[in-house]
Structure 1
């Protein structure tokens, strides 16, 4: 039994000392799970260019106003255009920053804020059920808590060794 405990302690003490492992895996999981999700969402919000919001963007971000305007983007207010533009830019830029490991902690914090706003819009505008923790049959909360936890790991641990953050920190030292 002592040999098993020794083996266990030896393996997991090495993993604890592997400072590169957690941030690298967190970024890889983000890219595998959320990068394409956000990229696809952003591309649905533009109609030819980043400055031309689509009816889909109007419907996604301001569902009640879009329905009242019959999804006519000409009815967008200046504020709505600004929000759609900022949200679309965030959906393109923040995941790319996390992918390449540049300003990674700030990008992770920005994405956490984006997830909160996205969740509020989903619940208040689209009627999605927030649900409760540990009840995966309905609701967004379990999914969004996992996303936020992943992003917290990135915000706390940084980008890891395979990143522009690391490369730039070595050049400035």
Structure 2
């Protein structure tokens, strides 16, 4: 039994020594593999037409972000005010920029915090605006709450540990 405990401690002790660089690097890789395309595809649906489409959100952006407000104005986004435009525009930019910053490791702690806030705002809109069922913890079914909590845990790993050695954060800190 002592040999087994020793093997356990030695093996996991070596693994623990890698956690300073392995954990944040893997967190960014898992994010890139699972959520990057999801957010970029979502952001692309919010872009207006033409070269300056990033300054003019599509009607779809307003429907996704403000479903009840759009219904109230018969889905005519021109009837919404400046604040609606600003939120839709900044939200679209955030969906492009924050994931990209996490993947390349640029201001990754700030980007990960921003993504965590983004995820919970997205969840509030999904539940209150689109009528999505939130679900609950400790059930035998995977719910929206479960998914979004796991996503935010991934961001928390980056907030706590930074981006790791293979990142722009590390390169800029060295110089």
Instruction: Please tell me the TM-score bracket, short chain as reference.
Output: over 0.9
1:21-170 correspondence to structure 2 within 5 Å:
21-48=22-49, 49-135=53-139, 137=141, 139-170=143-174
- The answer as to whether partners of 1:53 and 1:73 remain within 8 angstroms in 2 is no
Which range moved further: 91-100 or 70-79?
Answer: 70-79
- The answer as to whether partners of 1:129 and 1:138 remain within 8 angstroms in 2 is no
User: TM-score, normalized by length of structure 2?
Assistant: 0.93
Paired with 1:158 and 1:127, the residues of 2 have a C-alpha distance of 35
* Cα distance, 1:157–1:83 mapped onto 2, change above 3 Å: same
Paired with 2:47 and 2:95, the residues of 1 have a C-alpha distance of 12
- The answer as to whether partners of 1:101 and 1:164 remain within 8 angstroms in 2 is yes
* Cα distance, 1:71–1:114 mapped onto 2, change above 3 Å: same
Root-mean-square deviation over aligned CA pairs: 1.3
- Structure 1 residue 55, shift from structure 2 partner: 1.6
Moved over 4 A (4+): none
* Cα distance, 1:136–1:53 mapped onto 2, change above 3 Å: farther
Paired with 1:13 and 1:167, the residues of 2 have a C-alpha distance of 28
Tell me the equivalent position of 2:21.
20
Tell me the equivalent position of 1:3.
3
Listed as ranges, the gaps of 5+ residues in structure 1 are none
Paired with 1:32 and 1:71, the residues of 2 have a C-alpha distance of 35
- The answer as to whether partners of 1:51 and 1:85 remain within 8 angstroms in 2 is yes
